Structure 1
């Protein structure tokens, strides 16, 4: 008998992507429930070739499911993830609420699969920040080979990282510029169309934004607490797909050629690195793809044992929905228990 799964936040960008990827996965699924807020009850969402009617989060009986894939935002998760876990389901949460909780594992299956067993403490597993996920997938095989000392990363993050409202704002601003209509920023601090904004999330006392802090703290929790990370996170006017320019300093010597071969054979990665016009991947080309793409691998001539690379991934897929489903598959491979509180258990 397959697993029973609730997708919470089923009408959002990531929730709908979760349903798509879940329908394409090898996970043995008996039943999927689309769970959303009361205003979305009865709305239909796609699950493969089926249509699911949304049910109300407030009244749904979570003892019916073995897994809950959460993408309903931090405030909802703060309240509901413990309630769902108390109902016997394992929660995989896509918000930032539980990521730094020492009793909640922060998991990227290609990087720290064994950490998933930590779900037994609170019944919750956290999905990392989208920009962190694609970076640590790229860093893992290099760290295993030559030990990373320091990472300096600049991100080029699409507006979908902030949800549908941000995508709508980019679209409306772009149309407005072409038609000479005034459209003042609403969800961004400045114009996003034909512009870049070096500001994602709130500013902290250190001068970093919270997004930059997340990349540091999460990388240390997932990969290695000794790795130093300096991040500058920038919102750019693309709809989907995050890109990162990463400078990596190692304890040991590692050539660009060896790094290229290591990355080529590593899970979750695809290397497209030709030193010619167009011999690299851009955000437009990664949309809808499962892989994290690596290009522009080269040695940094200004610093010993240091490489540069370009990393691109679909932030709604590997940066959110795909990683969540991969965690579910990882649990299943480790004989995820059925919900003991279910009448069907």
Structure 2
């Protein structure tokens, strides 16, 4: 776009030369029409209507003409300058309107959309996984049972066949609540909910019991004094260990995907007989690291299996404590750590990340936990 200095006053202009004046007008009109923005239009206006524009210089030259020629020359140059000024004004309206329209489009706001008035949080991964695990059993017709976290010692231990001198009943493992003579404690597992279910529900009983539990454990990468468990209980006629095995295999497939294998190792728990530990096939190496020093697996320590939880056939003494005839009814029970399951599913390395309240942790794991 030509500027004011691009049209030197030295250009020979004759005010009486109609062709010369018309040529200057056409140049000005072309420059004005080509201006696509207010900045470009300002440059064109200064170049063709400013004090140093060719038409302005021609207007000054009129004073040097004889009196008889001034009138005609003045009319010719005046009309030319008017045409240019009118073109500038008209183009300015168009350019301003076009720029306003473009700005409105660029800055358009859909006022019907919802507005985030506060930072968006996230469902905690433990909560999300607890809901998902419960849904697995609800889909099989089971019920979700809950109970208090402050529990009676009889429900937490005695009804579950823990002998009075069992190590778990010591203050080194269990958090008792003062005064101690009231025999109340923060539950060490969700098994008291199973006892409450047998005491309050009609048989048969099919319940799953998720919840928070407490232990006198250290606070480190693999231990928390407050963690979460999910336990299941079935009491019905004709229940066998085979039903337990099938239930756990289905549960494992839902949690860890098709193809996951489980195994049961003999163990001892006061409330089940026989009892077993449930192991999962390592979902990282799938057992390939066993006996292969060149390909160790940190997840399973090259053992091929990962401990998941405990299970077994309900001890007849537990049924008797709850008023259930063990000659007619049998059952099975199991329990898994929800926190540990979350670690397995998402390769989380530190249990402390789950309780420190960082919303970034919740956002990163909630999608996969669900």
TM-score by length of 1: 0.30
Higher helix share: 2
Q: Which of 1 and 2 has greater Rg?
A: 2
Higher strand share: 1
TM-score by length of 2: 0.28
